[in-house]
Structure 1
Amino acid sequence: MTGSPQRSGKHPALVHLPFGLVMAVVVVGLVRILQYYWREGTVWIGLALLLAAGLRALLRDEQAGLIAIRSRAIDVLSYTIFGVLVIAVALTIEGGPLSR
């Protein structure tokens, strides 16, 4: 079990720090949505996906923790595509009952 957090002398919770950062941004987005600023909240969620893509691109597999799902290339591509799509949809929807 080489490279495990216990053997490398790092605290085991540090492995979950990237996921925690991404989820903190998602929580900001959800709070904004609950405050009836759904467009801004959705953009925050899209930014969380882009943050996950950036962290996945920069961190090694052992450091990425829960944001590492598949290979690095697939993760970065998926997070980036979904993040851009979520932001694009949030910024282009007009009218409807949620308009502000």
Structure 2
Amino acid sequence: MTRPPLYTRRPFLAGLLRQLPLLVVLLTVGTGLLMVTFEHWRRGLVVVGLALVGGGVLRLLLPLRRVGFLAVRSRPVDVVLLVGVGVLLTAFTLAIPGG
């Protein structure tokens, strides 16, 4: 006898688990913004940029049923936008002199 899938047994829990990639990205961005608030702006913005790159990698590697609200558009558009903005933010942050 096989057990029914999690989304039929516990739909709320299955929905929460599906949003874990987005939660990880948002918590990391929040940590970076907290660092910016406490005057570690360069490290904080690098953390935010790397969180966006990580979100792009998660969007690229995870199947659609596991990626949750991290999937907004088509996969190529999501990946290019997340990775592109993350790399640009990190590069601009590290290019500003006087750190």
* Shorter-chain TM-score tier: 0.7 to 0.9
Distance 2:77 2:9 in 1: 27
Give 1 or 2: higher helix fraction: 2
Query: Within 5 Å, which residues of 2 pair with 1:44-83?
Result: 44-83=47-86
Q: CA deviation at 1:66?
A: 1.1
Distance 1:92 1:7 in 2: 50
What value does the CA root-mean-square deviation take over the aligned residues?
A: 2.0
Q: Which runs of 5+ in 1 are unaligned?
A: none
Cα distance per residue 1:5-55 (max 9 Å; x no partner) = 624866221011000000111111011101101011000000110110110
Q: 2:97 aligns with which of 84, 94, 99?
A: 94
Question: Share of identical aligned residues, percent?
Answer: 36
Distance 2:92 2:86 in 1: 10
1:32 aligns with 2:35: yes
- In structure 2, relative to structure 1, the CA distance for the partners of 1:54 and 1:35 (3 Å cut) is same
Q: TM-score, normalised by structure 1?
A: 0.83
Q: 1:15 aligns with which of 18, 30, 38?
A: 18
Distance 1:59 1:8 in 2: 23
For 2:67, the aligned partner's letter is A
Indicate the residue corresponding to 1:6 in structure 2: 7
Other structure's SS at 2:83 match: helix
The count of residues paired between Structure 1 and Structure 2 equals 93
